[in-house]
Amino acid sequence: MSWDWNDEQRAGLARFLAERGVCTGPVATRPIGDGHSNLTFLVDDGSRKVVVRRPPPPPVPPGAHDMLREAKLIGALAGTDVPVADVLAVGQAGEVLDVPFYVMSYVEGPVITGRTPPALSTPEDRRRIGESLVDTLAALHAVDWRARGLAGMGRPEGFNGRHFRRMGKLIADSEGRPPAEFAEIDAWLAAHVPPESGEAIVHNDYRLGNVIVGPDSPGRILAVLDWELATIGDPLFDVGYFLASYPVAGEPMTPTEELGAAALEQGYPTRDELAARYATATGRDLSGLDWYTVLALWKLAVLYEYGRRRAVEGVGDEYYAEASLVKSFLEAAQRAAS
């Protein structure tokens, strides 16, 4: 965590929340989450807890970490079959902080990463959690995003090729060439770009560690978190990413798989079982899913390489400075492509 509230900002937040009937009196703030992207804080006035999300400290890449966009999307999902927190208030830049932020309800329950909590540790509960994950993803992709007022949230036509090219530019040299270690996977992806399989809300970071589950049996999802990368695009983007972040017994784990290592415990469905359940629920053809899985791993390698360069320059999160993180994603992408 590279930023925290000072007393003046905390007092301003308390006034902001009181004026909107969200909290009363002084508030305490505590960082929650991993802190590698948008910053999330638990805010407590002694009788009620809420959550505040704000962008990371500058420099922020153009178009990234748009709090108002994120709040709009979460608000649009209220009342659908996709469980999300309630958006309670939105703050413009200059109201409390020099950046926009939003306030949402606090959903109590664990976020599963390294191991499943004891109260949910039966194989039956683990299986239900895994099945609930894929059922929620199918429900997200079934949302009528136009009817929810999200028609301007993205451009689904030509999404696959455009997204691939845009991501590659983050680390390309002045002549548009990828780094040498990326070249083979870059060329494979470019040669196999598929037409879009459909149009849907795409979370873009959907995985076990980005949901809150119920604290006790039966295993179920209470809220999907971290919507900052969401857009309108090809739903198989989410499926490929979700499966690429889901560990497989006996295989080396990438950093995102490590964030969901609990899925290796007895009872959780396998990747193949999850894919089959999604296909049954949606009727989508997953025969071309390999491209999306490779793309997800390549994209993570790109983002981690971009983060590594920023960290080396002293303007980014030091977490990304280790080059082996990038290598692990590239190796996984090569295994998936083969």
DSSP string, 277-298: HHHHHH----TTHHHHHHHHHH
**Domain spanning 118-337: which superfamily?**
Aminoglycoside phosphotransferase (APH), C-terminal lobe (3.90.1200.10)
What pLDDT does 314 receive? 87
What pLDDT does 74 receive? 97
What pLDDT does 1 receive? 47
- What lies within 8 Å, CB to CB, of 138 at 6+ separation is 278, 281, 282
Lowest-pLDDT range, 58-72, 88-102, 161-175, 206-220? 58-72
Give the CATH number of domain 7-105: 3.30.200.20
pLDDT class of 152 with cuts at 50, 70, 90: confident
Q: Provide the 8-state DSSP code for 150.
A: -
User: In the chain, what are the domain boundaries?
Assistant: 7-105, 118-337
What pLDDT does 65 receive? 62
Nearest-angstrom CA–CA distance, 208 and 262 = 9
Q: What is the dihedral of CA 198, 199, 204, 208, to 10 degrees?
A: -70
Half-sphere exposure of 39 (CA within 13 A, CB side): 20
Lowest-pLDDT range, 11-15, 31-35, 97-101, 126-130? 31-35
Read off the pTM.
0.93
